[in-house]
Amino acid sequence: MTAPMGSTPPLVSVVVATYNRADSVARLLAQLAGQTLPPDRFEVVVVDDGSTPPVGDRLTALCVPYGLLVLAQQNAGPAAARHAAILRSRGDVIVIVDDDMSIAPDFLTQHLAEHPRGSRRVVLGWVRADPGTRLRLFERFQLVAIERLVADVRAGRAHPRGSNLYTGNVSFRRDDYLAVGGFDPTFRLSEDSELGIRLERAGATVAVCDRAVALHASDHTSVSAWMRRGKEYGAADLRVSEKHPDLVSADPWRFFFAVSPISRPLLLGSALAPSLLRPAAQLAMWSGIALDKLGAERLALAATTFVYGVQYYAGVRVQAGSRRRVLAGLRRYLNRVRSEELPPMGRIAKFVADVRADHDAIRRADAKYQSTPRSPVLMVSLVQRIGYQIMVAYRVMRLFRDLRLTLMAKATSRYIRHFYAADIHWDADLAPGTIIVHGVGLVVSHSARVGPGCVLFQHVTLGESISRETREVGAPTLESDVHVGPGASLLGPITVGRGSKVMAGVVLMDSVPAYSLVEGPAPVVRVRSSGGTS
Protein backbone atom coordinates (compact mmCIF):
# COMPACT_ATOMS: atom_id res chain seq x y z
CA MET A 1 0.00 0.00 0.00
CA THR A 2 1.14 3.54 -0.63
CA ALA A 3 1.74 5.94 2.24
CA PRO A 4 -1.12 8.43 2.64
CA MET A 5 -0.64 12.09 1.79
CA GLY A 6 0.24 13.71 5.13
CA SER A 7 -1.40 16.76 6.65
CA THR A 8 1.90 18.67 6.77
CA PRO A 9 2.89 20.03 3.34
CA PRO A 10 6.15 18.50 2.08
CA LEU A 11 9.14 20.50 0.84
CA VAL A 12 9.15 18.86 -2.58
CA SER A 13 6.47 17.59 -4.92
CA VAL A 14 7.66 15.22 -7.65
CA VAL A 15 5.44 15.45 -10.74
CA VAL A 16 5.31 12.64 -13.30
CA ALA A 17 3.13 12.49 -16.41
CA THR A 18 2.85 8.98 -17.83
CA TYR A 19 1.39 7.43 -20.96
CA ASN A 20 1.54 3.68 -21.71
CA ARG A 21 4.70 3.17 -19.65
CA ALA A 22 3.51 1.18 -16.67
CA ASP A 23 6.81 -0.68 -16.17
CA SER A 24 9.12 2.32 -16.38
CA VAL A 25 6.99 4.57 -14.17
CA ALA A 26 6.76 1.79 -11.58
CA ARG A 27 10.57 1.52 -11.67
CA LEU A 28 10.85 5.28 -11.16
CA LEU A 29 8.50 5.19 -8.15
CA ALA A 30 10.60 2.41 -6.63
CA GLN A 31 13.76 4.51 -7.08
CA LEU A 32 12.04 7.44 -5.38
CA ALA A 33 11.48 5.17 -2.39
CA GLY A 34 15.26 4.98 -1.96
CA GLN A 35 15.97 8.73 -1.90
CA THR A 36 18.31 10.21 0.68
CA LEU A 37 15.72 12.95 1.22
CA PRO A 38 13.46 11.63 4.03
CA PRO A 39 10.12 10.36 2.67
CA ASP A 40 8.13 12.74 4.87
CA ARG A 41 9.74 15.71 3.09
CA PHE A 42 8.46 14.92 -0.38
CA GLU A 43 5.40 13.62 -2.19
CA VAL A 44 4.84 12.21 -5.67
CA VAL A 45 1.93 13.10 -7.93
CA VAL A 46 1.47 10.94 -11.03
CA VAL A 47 -1.03 11.74 -13.79
CA ASP A 48 -1.99 8.94 -16.15
CA ASP A 49 -2.58 10.73 -19.46
CA GLY A 50 -5.04 8.24 -20.93
CA SER A 51 -2.91 5.07 -20.87
CA THR A 52 -4.36 1.86 -22.31
CA PRO A 53 -4.83 0.01 -20.04
CA PRO A 54 -4.86 2.55 -17.19
CA VAL A 55 -1.90 2.33 -14.81
CA GLY A 56 -3.59 3.71 -11.69
CA ASP A 57 -4.40 0.40 -9.97
CA ARG A 58 -0.88 -0.94 -10.46
CA LEU A 59 0.75 2.20 -9.08
CA THR A 60 -1.50 2.62 -6.06
CA ALA A 61 -0.77 -1.00 -5.13
CA LEU A 62 2.94 -0.23 -4.75
CA CYS A 63 4.41 -0.15 -1.25
CA VAL A 64 6.25 3.18 -0.99
CA PRO A 65 7.15 5.22 2.11
CA TYR A 66 6.23 8.63 0.72
CA GLY A 67 2.87 10.18 -0.05
CA LEU A 68 1.67 9.14 -3.50
CA LEU A 69 -1.28 10.54 -5.42
CA VAL A 70 -2.25 8.96 -8.75
CA LEU A 71 -4.61 10.89 -11.00
CA ALA A 72 -6.10 9.99 -14.38
CA GLN A 73 -7.28 12.06 -17.31
CA GLN A 74 -8.21 11.59 -20.95
CA ASN A 75 -5.22 11.94 -23.23
CA ALA A 76 -4.44 15.67 -23.48
CA GLY A 77 -0.67 15.71 -23.67
CA PRO A 78 2.09 15.87 -21.06
CA ALA A 79 1.73 19.62 -20.45
CA ALA A 80 -1.91 19.28 -19.42
CA ALA A 81 -1.06 16.26 -17.28
CA ARG A 82 1.79 18.02 -15.49
CA HIS A 83 -0.32 21.11 -14.92
CA ALA A 84 -3.07 19.00 -13.35
CA ALA A 85 -0.47 17.38 -11.09
CA ILE A 86 1.02 20.70 -9.99
CA LEU A 87 -2.42 22.05 -9.12
CA ARG A 88 -2.89 19.07 -6.76
CA SER A 89 0.65 19.24 -5.37
CA ARG A 90 1.51 20.83 -2.00
CA GLY A 91 5.29 21.17 -2.01
CA ASP A 92 7.16 24.46 -2.20
CA VAL A 93 9.52 23.07 -4.84
CA ILE A 94 8.25 21.18 -7.90
CA VAL A 95 10.50 18.57 -9.50
CA ILE A 96 9.34 17.29 -12.89
CA VAL A 97 10.85 14.09 -14.23
CA ASP A 98 9.86 11.98 -17.23
CA ASP A 99 8.30 8.57 -16.74
CA ASP A 100 11.11 6.77 -18.61
CA MET A 101 13.94 8.11 -16.45
CA SER A 102 16.10 6.42 -13.83
CA ILE A 103 17.44 8.45 -10.91
CA ALA A 104 20.11 8.12 -8.24
CA PRO A 105 19.34 8.14 -4.48
CA ASP A 106 20.49 11.76 -4.09
CA PHE A 107 18.40 13.08 -6.99
CA LEU A 108 15.90 15.03 -4.91
CA THR A 109 18.53 16.18 -2.42
CA GLN A 110 20.55 17.72 -5.26
CA HIS A 111 17.53 19.52 -6.67
CA LEU A 112 16.44 20.83 -3.26
CA ALA A 113 19.95 22.16 -2.56
CA GLU A 114 19.60 24.43 -5.59
CA HIS A 115 16.59 26.19 -4.01
CA PRO A 116 17.80 27.97 -0.84
CA ARG A 117 15.28 29.96 1.10
CA GLY A 118 14.26 33.13 -0.70
CA SER A 119 15.62 32.06 -4.09
CA ARG A 120 13.63 32.03 -7.32
CA ARG A 121 15.34 29.57 -9.62
CA VAL A 122 14.59 27.24 -12.50
CA VAL A 123 17.06 24.36 -12.20
CA LEU A 124 17.80 22.16 -15.20
CA GLY A 125 19.08 18.75 -14.19
CA TRP A 126 21.36 16.71 -16.42
CA VAL A 127 19.68 14.14 -18.67
CA ARG A 128 22.13 11.44 -19.78
CA ALA A 129 21.85 8.17 -21.65
CA ASP A 130 21.13 5.13 -19.51
CA PRO A 131 24.32 3.02 -19.82
CA GLY A 132 22.20 -0.11 -19.71
CA THR A 133 20.26 0.86 -22.84
CA ARG A 134 21.43 1.43 -26.41
CA LEU A 135 19.40 4.45 -27.50
CA ARG A 136 18.44 5.02 -31.10
CA LEU A 137 20.59 7.49 -33.00
CA PHE A 138 17.99 10.24 -32.97
CA GLU A 139 17.54 9.90 -29.20
CA ARG A 140 21.30 10.24 -28.65
CA PHE A 141 21.19 13.35 -30.83
CA GLN A 142 18.72 14.92 -28.38
CA LEU A 143 21.00 14.17 -25.42
CA VAL A 144 24.09 15.57 -27.15
CA ALA A 145 22.40 18.99 -27.19
CA ILE A 146 21.88 18.81 -23.41
CA GLU A 147 25.46 17.63 -22.85
CA ARG A 148 26.71 20.55 -24.93
CA LEU A 149 24.65 22.98 -22.84
CA VAL A 150 26.02 21.53 -19.59
CA ALA A 151 29.59 21.68 -20.91
CA ASP A 152 29.18 25.28 -22.09
CA VAL A 153 27.74 26.35 -18.73
CA ARG A 154 30.54 24.58 -16.87
CA ALA A 155 33.15 26.34 -19.01
CA GLY A 156 31.46 29.73 -18.71
CA ARG A 157 30.78 29.91 -22.44
CA ALA A 158 27.02 30.12 -22.01
CA HIS A 159 24.36 31.12 -19.53
CA PRO A 160 21.15 29.08 -19.55
CA ARG A 161 17.98 30.90 -20.52
CA GLY A 162 14.32 30.21 -19.96
CA SER A 163 14.03 28.95 -23.53
CA ASN A 164 16.41 26.10 -22.55
CA LEU A 165 13.86 24.62 -20.13
CA TYR A 166 13.10 20.93 -20.70
CA THR A 167 10.69 18.93 -18.58
CA GLY A 168 12.59 15.65 -18.50
CA ASN A 169 14.48 16.85 -15.40
CA VAL A 170 13.70 20.30 -13.99
CA SER A 171 12.71 22.00 -10.73
CA PHE A 172 11.21 25.36 -9.77
CA ARG A 173 9.09 26.91 -7.05
CA ARG A 174 5.39 26.16 -7.20
CA ASP A 175 4.46 29.77 -6.46
CA ASP A 176 6.53 30.99 -9.42
CA TYR A 177 4.83 28.47 -11.69
CA LEU A 178 1.34 29.49 -10.61
CA ALA A 179 2.19 33.21 -10.78
CA VAL A 180 2.94 32.99 -14.52
CA GLY A 181 -0.14 30.86 -15.25
CA GLY A 182 1.57 27.49 -15.69
CA PHE A 183 1.90 25.63 -18.97
CA ASP A 184 0.10 27.17 -21.93
CA PRO A 185 -2.45 24.48 -22.90
CA THR A 186 -2.48 25.65 -26.52
CA PHE A 187 1.01 24.18 -26.98
CA ARG A 188 1.41 20.43 -27.40
CA LEU A 189 5.14 20.90 -28.11
CA SER A 190 7.66 23.53 -26.91
CA GLU A 191 5.36 24.19 -23.97
CA ASP A 192 8.36 23.69 -21.68
CA SER A 193 10.56 26.37 -23.28
CA GLU A 194 7.58 28.74 -23.47
CA LEU A 195 7.00 28.26 -19.74
CA GLY A 196 10.70 28.87 -19.10
CA ILE A 197 10.53 32.15 -21.01
CA ARG A 198 7.67 33.40 -18.84
CA LEU A 199 9.38 32.25 -15.63
CA GLU A 200 12.57 34.08 -16.59
CA ARG A 201 10.69 37.22 -17.56
CA ALA A 202 8.91 37.13 -14.21
CA GLY A 203 12.25 37.29 -12.42
CA ALA A 204 13.34 33.67 -11.98
CA THR A 205 16.95 32.82 -12.76
CA VAL A 206 17.90 29.72 -14.74
CA ALA A 207 20.68 27.38 -13.62
CA VAL A 208 22.09 23.99 -14.55
CA CYS A 209 22.77 21.36 -11.87
CA ASP A 210 24.95 18.60 -13.30
CA ARG A 211 24.69 16.64 -10.03
CA ALA A 212 20.95 16.08 -10.38
CA VAL A 213 21.22 13.36 -13.05
CA ALA A 214 18.36 11.51 -14.71
CA LEU A 215 19.22 8.58 -16.98
CA HIS A 216 17.16 8.37 -20.15
CA ALA A 217 15.97 5.00 -21.47
CA SER A 218 13.52 5.91 -24.21
CA ASP A 219 11.32 3.37 -25.96
CA HIS A 220 10.93 5.53 -29.09
CA THR A 221 11.88 3.54 -32.18
CA SER A 222 10.18 5.16 -35.18
CA VAL A 223 12.46 7.24 -37.40
CA SER A 224 9.54 8.65 -39.38
CA ALA A 225 7.77 9.70 -36.17
CA TRP A 226 10.93 11.47 -34.98
CA MET A 227 11.31 13.28 -38.29
CA ARG A 228 7.67 14.34 -38.19
CA ARG A 229 8.19 15.56 -34.63
CA GLY A 230 11.13 17.70 -35.73
CA LYS A 231 8.85 19.46 -38.20
CA GLU A 232 6.22 19.97 -35.50
CA TYR A 233 8.84 21.47 -33.20
CA GLY A 234 9.78 24.02 -35.86
CA ALA A 235 6.17 25.13 -36.16
CA ALA A 236 5.74 25.20 -32.37
CA ASP A 237 8.90 27.26 -31.82
CA LEU A 238 7.74 29.86 -34.34
CA ARG A 239 4.46 30.06 -32.41
CA VAL A 240 6.47 30.64 -29.23
CA SER A 241 8.37 33.43 -30.99
CA GLU A 242 5.11 34.96 -32.19
CA LYS A 243 3.87 34.97 -28.61
CA HIS A 244 7.11 36.63 -27.42
CA PRO A 245 8.06 38.77 -30.46
CA ASP A 246 10.53 40.97 -28.56
CA LEU A 247 12.65 38.07 -27.30
CA VAL A 248 15.59 37.10 -29.54
CA SER A 249 16.33 33.97 -27.48
CA ALA A 250 12.89 32.59 -28.44
CA ASP A 251 13.35 33.04 -32.19
CA PRO A 252 13.67 29.77 -34.17
CA TRP A 253 16.30 31.39 -36.40
CA ARG A 254 18.69 31.43 -33.42
CA PHE A 255 19.72 27.90 -34.39
CA PHE A 256 20.41 28.76 -38.02
CA PHE A 257 23.85 30.31 -37.54
CA ALA A 258 24.94 27.68 -35.00
CA VAL A 259 25.14 24.92 -37.63
CA SER A 260 27.80 24.28 -40.26
CA PRO A 261 28.00 26.95 -42.99
CA ILE A 262 27.64 24.13 -45.52
CA SER A 263 24.22 23.24 -44.10
CA ARG A 264 22.77 26.74 -43.95
CA PRO A 265 21.75 27.07 -47.63
CA LEU A 266 19.99 23.71 -47.40
CA LEU A 267 18.18 24.65 -44.18
CA LEU A 268 17.09 27.93 -45.74
CA GLY A 269 16.00 25.96 -48.80
CA SER A 270 13.90 23.71 -46.55
CA ALA A 271 12.21 26.78 -45.07
CA LEU A 272 11.49 28.15 -48.55
CA ALA A 273 10.60 24.92 -50.38
CA PRO A 274 10.23 22.02 -47.90
CA SER A 275 9.23 19.41 -50.48
CA LEU A 276 12.49 19.83 -52.40
CA LEU A 277 14.64 18.96 -49.36
CA ARG A 278 12.52 16.10 -48.05
CA PRO A 279 14.31 13.39 -50.13
CA ALA A 280 17.70 14.76 -49.04
CA ALA A 281 16.64 14.56 -45.38
CA GLN A 282 15.48 10.97 -45.77
CA LEU A 283 18.71 9.97 -47.52
CA ALA A 284 20.81 11.68 -44.84
CA MET A 285 18.85 9.95 -42.07
CA TRP A 286 19.39 6.47 -43.46
CA SER A 287 23.02 7.31 -44.19
CA GLY A 288 23.42 8.37 -40.57
CA ILE A 289 21.90 5.11 -39.34
CA ALA A 290 24.29 3.15 -41.58
CA LEU A 291 27.28 5.14 -40.33
CA ASP A 292 26.21 4.50 -36.75
CA LYS A 293 26.13 0.76 -37.36
CA LEU A 294 29.67 1.00 -38.73
CA GLY A 295 30.82 2.74 -35.54
CA ALA A 296 31.16 6.23 -37.03
CA GLU A 297 28.97 7.83 -34.38
CA ARG A 298 30.34 11.34 -34.84
CA LEU A 299 29.48 11.40 -38.54
CA ALA A 300 26.16 9.74 -37.81
CA LEU A 301 25.25 12.46 -35.30
CA ALA A 302 26.28 15.15 -37.80
CA ALA A 303 23.94 13.63 -40.37
CA THR A 304 21.15 13.49 -37.77
CA THR A 305 21.70 17.14 -36.89
CA PHE A 306 21.28 18.04 -40.56
CA VAL A 307 18.10 15.98 -40.83
CA TYR A 308 16.59 17.59 -37.77
CA GLY A 309 17.46 21.05 -39.10
CA VAL A 310 15.78 20.33 -42.44
CA GLN A 311 12.65 19.07 -40.71
CA TYR A 312 12.67 21.90 -38.17
CA TYR A 313 12.81 24.68 -40.75
CA ALA A 314 10.21 22.90 -42.86
CA GLY A 315 8.00 23.27 -39.80
CA VAL A 316 8.92 26.96 -39.56
CA ARG A 317 7.66 27.31 -43.13
CA VAL A 318 4.40 25.55 -42.27
CA GLN A 319 3.73 27.98 -39.43
CA ALA A 320 4.92 31.04 -41.40
CA GLY A 321 2.69 30.16 -44.33
CA SER A 322 4.71 31.71 -47.16
CA ARG A 323 8.24 32.28 -48.43
CA ARG A 324 7.81 36.00 -47.91
CA ARG A 325 7.02 35.57 -44.23
CA VAL A 326 9.93 33.14 -43.85
CA LEU A 327 12.38 35.70 -45.23
CA ALA A 328 10.78 38.48 -43.18
CA GLY A 329 11.26 36.38 -40.07
CA LEU A 330 14.94 35.81 -40.84
CA ARG A 331 15.45 39.52 -41.47
CA ARG A 332 13.67 40.41 -38.23
CA TYR A 333 15.94 38.04 -36.31
CA LEU A 334 19.06 39.54 -37.89
CA ASN A 335 17.84 43.04 -37.02
CA ARG A 336 17.42 42.12 -33.36
CA VAL A 337 20.38 39.83 -32.67
CA ARG A 338 23.71 41.24 -31.51
CA SER A 339 26.53 40.90 -34.00
CA GLU A 340 28.72 39.30 -31.34
CA GLU A 341 26.38 36.31 -31.34
CA LEU A 342 26.81 35.66 -35.08
CA PRO A 343 29.62 34.09 -37.11
CA PRO A 344 31.33 36.26 -39.78
CA MET A 345 28.89 35.36 -42.56
CA GLY A 346 26.02 36.01 -40.19
CA ARG A 347 27.39 39.47 -39.48
CA ILE A 348 27.46 40.23 -43.19
CA ALA A 349 23.87 39.01 -43.46
CA LYS A 350 22.97 41.25 -40.52
CA PHE A 351 24.55 44.23 -42.30
CA VAL A 352 22.31 43.64 -45.33
CA ALA A 353 19.21 43.16 -43.15
CA ASP A 354 19.96 46.31 -41.12
CA VAL A 355 20.41 48.42 -44.28
CA ARG A 356 17.02 47.16 -45.45
CA ALA A 357 15.45 47.95 -42.06
CA ASP A 358 16.77 51.53 -42.20
CA HIS A 359 15.24 51.96 -45.64
CA ASP A 360 11.94 50.42 -44.54
CA ALA A 361 11.80 52.99 -41.73
CA ILE A 362 12.23 55.79 -44.29
CA ARG A 363 9.41 54.37 -46.42
CA ARG A 364 7.09 54.23 -43.40
CA ALA A 365 7.96 57.83 -42.51
CA ASP A 366 7.33 58.94 -46.10
CA ALA A 367 3.93 57.27 -46.09
CA LYS A 368 3.06 59.10 -42.88
CA TYR A 369 4.48 62.57 -43.53
CA GLN A 370 4.97 63.06 -47.29
CA SER A 371 1.99 64.22 -49.33
CA THR A 372 3.88 63.19 -52.48
CA PRO A 373 5.56 59.81 -51.79
CA ARG A 374 9.13 59.50 -52.94
CA SER A 375 10.56 56.56 -54.84
CA PRO A 376 10.45 53.36 -52.73
CA VAL A 377 13.59 51.96 -54.42
CA LEU A 378 16.53 51.56 -52.04
CA MET A 379 19.17 52.63 -54.56
CA VAL A 380 17.23 55.78 -55.39
CA SER A 381 17.11 56.69 -51.71
CA LEU A 382 20.81 55.98 -51.42
CA VAL A 383 21.56 58.46 -54.21
CA GLN A 384 19.07 61.18 -53.26
CA ARG A 385 18.94 61.16 -49.45
CA ILE A 386 22.00 62.31 -47.53
CA GLY A 387 20.70 61.00 -44.22
CA TYR A 388 20.33 57.50 -45.64
CA GLN A 389 23.81 57.72 -47.14
CA ILE A 390 25.13 58.44 -43.65
CA MET A 391 23.21 55.46 -42.20
CA VAL A 392 24.61 53.10 -44.84
CA ALA A 393 28.12 54.43 -44.18
CA TYR A 394 27.52 53.84 -40.47
CA ARG A 395 26.39 50.26 -41.18
CA VAL A 396 29.58 49.67 -43.20
CA MET A 397 31.62 51.06 -40.30
CA ARG A 398 29.88 48.75 -37.84
CA LEU A 399 30.41 45.78 -40.13
CA PHE A 400 34.14 46.48 -40.19
CA ARG A 401 34.08 46.78 -36.40
CA ASP A 402 32.13 43.52 -35.98
CA LEU A 403 34.55 41.71 -38.29
CA ARG A 404 37.39 43.07 -36.11
CA LEU A 405 38.73 45.23 -38.95
CA THR A 406 39.21 48.08 -36.50
CA LEU A 407 41.45 50.20 -38.74
CA MET A 408 38.85 50.07 -41.52
CA ALA A 409 36.12 51.04 -39.04
CA LYS A 410 38.13 54.05 -37.90
CA ALA A 411 38.86 55.04 -41.49
CA THR A 412 35.13 54.89 -42.28
CA SER A 413 34.43 57.08 -39.25
CA ARG A 414 36.85 59.67 -40.64
CA TYR A 415 35.18 59.41 -44.05
CA ILE A 416 31.78 60.17 -42.47
CA ARG A 417 33.27 63.09 -40.57
CA HIS A 418 34.97 64.76 -43.52
CA PHE A 419 32.41 63.90 -46.22
CA TYR A 420 29.21 64.59 -44.27
CA ALA A 421 30.42 66.77 -41.35
CA ALA A 422 29.00 64.15 -38.96
CA ASP A 423 30.98 62.57 -36.13
CA ILE A 424 29.66 59.07 -35.31
CA HIS A 425 31.85 56.74 -33.27
CA TRP A 426 32.26 53.17 -34.51
CA ASP A 427 31.12 51.81 -31.11
CA ALA A 428 27.90 53.86 -31.09
CA ASP A 429 24.87 51.55 -31.30
CA LEU A 430 22.14 52.73 -33.68
CA ALA A 431 19.42 50.09 -33.91
CA PRO A 432 18.06 48.99 -37.29
CA GLY A 433 15.26 51.32 -38.33
CA THR A 434 17.00 54.55 -37.26
CA ILE A 435 16.42 57.58 -39.51
CA ILE A 436 18.87 60.45 -39.96
CA VAL A 437 17.43 63.63 -41.47
CA HIS A 438 20.08 65.79 -43.24
CA GLY A 439 22.75 64.65 -40.77
CA VAL A 440 25.18 67.53 -41.02
CA GLY A 441 26.66 68.38 -37.61
CA LEU A 442 25.46 65.13 -36.04
CA VAL A 443 27.65 64.00 -33.09
CA VAL A 444 27.16 60.55 -31.52
CA SER A 445 29.36 59.33 -28.66
CA HIS A 446 30.89 55.86 -28.49
CA SER A 447 28.58 54.83 -25.62
CA ALA A 448 25.35 56.24 -27.06
CA ARG A 449 22.50 53.80 -27.69
CA VAL A 450 19.65 54.56 -30.12
CA GLY A 451 16.56 52.35 -30.35
CA PRO A 452 14.59 51.35 -33.45
CA GLY A 453 12.34 53.94 -35.03
CA CYS A 454 14.30 56.92 -33.70
CA VAL A 455 14.73 60.04 -35.84
CA LEU A 456 17.81 62.26 -35.49
CA PHE A 457 17.84 65.64 -37.20
CA GLN A 458 20.83 67.81 -38.11
CA HIS A 459 23.18 69.18 -35.45
CA VAL A 460 21.97 66.70 -32.81
CA THR A 461 24.49 65.77 -30.14
CA LEU A 462 24.32 62.52 -28.14
CA GLY A 463 27.34 63.23 -26.01
CA GLU A 464 29.20 61.76 -23.09
CA SER A 465 29.08 63.69 -19.84
CA ILE A 466 28.87 63.30 -16.06
CA SER A 467 25.53 62.73 -14.36
CA ARG A 468 24.67 65.61 -12.08
CA GLU A 469 23.15 63.20 -9.54
CA THR A 470 25.23 60.00 -9.60
CA ARG A 471 28.49 61.39 -11.07
CA GLU A 472 28.40 58.46 -13.49
CA VAL A 473 30.05 59.03 -16.86
CA GLY A 474 28.14 57.98 -19.96
CA ALA A 475 26.09 58.92 -23.01
CA PRO A 476 22.33 58.92 -23.68
CA THR A 477 20.16 55.91 -24.37
CA LEU A 478 17.18 56.57 -26.62
CA GLU A 479 14.42 54.00 -26.38
CA SER A 480 12.34 53.19 -29.46
CA ASP A 481 10.58 55.84 -31.58
CA VAL A 482 12.26 58.90 -30.05
CA HIS A 483 12.42 62.05 -32.24
CA VAL A 484 15.26 64.50 -31.56
CA GLY A 485 14.89 67.87 -33.26
CA PRO A 486 17.55 70.04 -34.94
CA GLY A 487 20.27 71.37 -32.68
CA ALA A 488 19.22 69.41 -29.58
CA SER A 489 22.01 68.32 -27.23
CA LEU A 490 21.47 65.26 -25.02
CA LEU A 491 24.31 64.78 -22.56
CA GLY A 492 25.29 62.18 -19.98
CA PRO A 493 24.03 58.70 -19.01
CA ILE A 494 20.36 59.59 -19.37
CA THR A 495 17.47 57.60 -20.80
CA VAL A 496 14.83 59.11 -23.05
CA GLY A 497 11.69 57.00 -22.83
CA ARG A 498 10.10 55.48 -25.89
CA GLY A 499 7.86 57.63 -28.06
CA SER A 500 9.27 60.88 -26.67
CA LYS A 501 9.94 64.00 -28.72
CA VAL A 502 12.83 66.35 -27.93
CA MET A 503 12.22 69.68 -29.62
CA ALA A 504 14.80 71.76 -31.50
CA GLY A 505 17.53 73.47 -29.51
CA VAL A 506 16.87 71.65 -26.23
CA VAL A 507 19.77 70.90 -23.88
CA LEU A 508 18.75 67.76 -21.94
CA MET A 509 20.81 66.30 -19.07
CA ASP A 510 18.11 64.38 -17.18
CA SER A 511 16.17 61.22 -18.03
CA VAL A 512 12.58 61.59 -19.17
CA PRO A 513 9.76 59.00 -19.08
CA ALA A 514 8.10 57.47 -22.11
CA TYR A 515 5.97 59.65 -24.38
CA SER A 516 7.40 62.91 -23.06
CA LEU A 517 7.47 66.18 -24.97
CA VAL A 518 10.67 68.06 -24.12
CA GLU A 519 10.63 71.73 -25.05
CA GLY A 520 13.17 74.46 -24.48
CA PRO A 521 12.37 77.95 -23.21
CA ALA A 522 10.52 80.07 -25.72
CA PRO A 523 12.59 82.79 -27.42
CA VAL A 524 12.34 86.29 -26.05
CA VAL A 525 10.80 88.68 -28.59
CA ARG A 526 10.81 92.45 -27.93
CA VAL A 527 10.56 95.68 -29.92
CA ARG A 528 13.78 97.06 -31.23
CA SER A 529 14.81 100.69 -30.53
CA SER A 530 12.42 103.32 -31.94
CA GLY A 531 14.79 104.43 -34.67
CA GLY A 532 14.87 100.97 -36.20
CA THR A 533 18.64 101.18 -36.50
CA SER A 534 21.06 98.74 -35.02
pTM of the model: 0.88
Are residue 239 and residue 315 in the same domain, yes or no? yes
Give the tens place of pLDDT for each residue, 32-43: 999 999 999 999
Region 214-228 average pLDDT: 86
For residue 195, pLDDT beyond 60? yes
Q: Residue 104 is part of a domain; what is its CATH number?
A: 3.90.550.10
Q: Which of 288, 310, 337 is the last residue of a domain?
A: 337
Give residue 326's pLDDT: 97
Are residue 352 and residue 323 in the same domain, yes or no? no
Q: Residue 504 is part of a domain; what is its CATH number?
A: 2.160.10.10
Are residue 202 and residue 327 in the same domain, yes or no? no
Are residue 105 and residue 156 in the same domain, yes or no? yes
Quick check: is 403 in a domain?
Answer: yes
Are residue 325 and residue 363 in the same domain, yes or no? no
Give the tens place of pLDDT for each residue, 458-482: 999 999 999 888 889 999 999 999 9
Count the domains in the chain.
3
Give the tens place of pLDDT for each residue, 46-78: 999 999 999 988 998 899 999 999 999 999 989
Q: Which of 337, 362, 379 is the last residue of a domain?
A: 337
Quick check: is 523 in a domain?
Answer: no
Question: What residues contact 426, with CB distance under 8 A and at least 6 apart?
Answer: 397, 398, 400, 401, 406, 409, 410, 412, 413, 446
Are residue 502 and residue 429 in the same domain, yes or no? yes
Are residue 131 and residue 8 in the same domain, yes or no? yes
Are residue 182 and residue 243 in the same domain, yes or no? no
| Cβ–Cβ < 8 Å for 81, 35 | no
Region 186-209 average pLDDT: 94
Give the tens place of pLDDT for each residue, 396-425: 999 999 999 999 999 999 999 999 999 999
Give residue 530's pLDDT: 67
CA–CA distance, 314 with 281 (Å, rounded to integer): 11
Quick check: is 532 in a domain?
Answer: no
Are residue 84 and residue 156 in the same domain, yes or no? yes
CA–CA distance, 84 with 475 (Å, rounded to integer): 50
Give residue 350's pLDDT: 96
Quick check: is 280 in a domain?
Answer: yes
Give the tens place of pLDDT for each residue, 335-366: 999 999 999 999 999 999 999 999 999 999 98
Quick check: is 526 in a domain?
Answer: no
The mean pLDDT of the chain is 92
Quick check: is 226 in a domain?
Answer: no
Quick check: is 534 in a domain?
Answer: no
Q: Which of 337, 366, 399 is the last residue of a domain?
A: 337
Give residue 2's pLDDT: 54
Domain of residue 393, residue span: 347-518
Quick check: is 240 in a domain?
Answer: yes
Query: H/E/C letters for each residue in 34-46?
Result: CCCCCHHHEEEEE
Are residue 390 and residue 302 in the same domain, yes or no? no
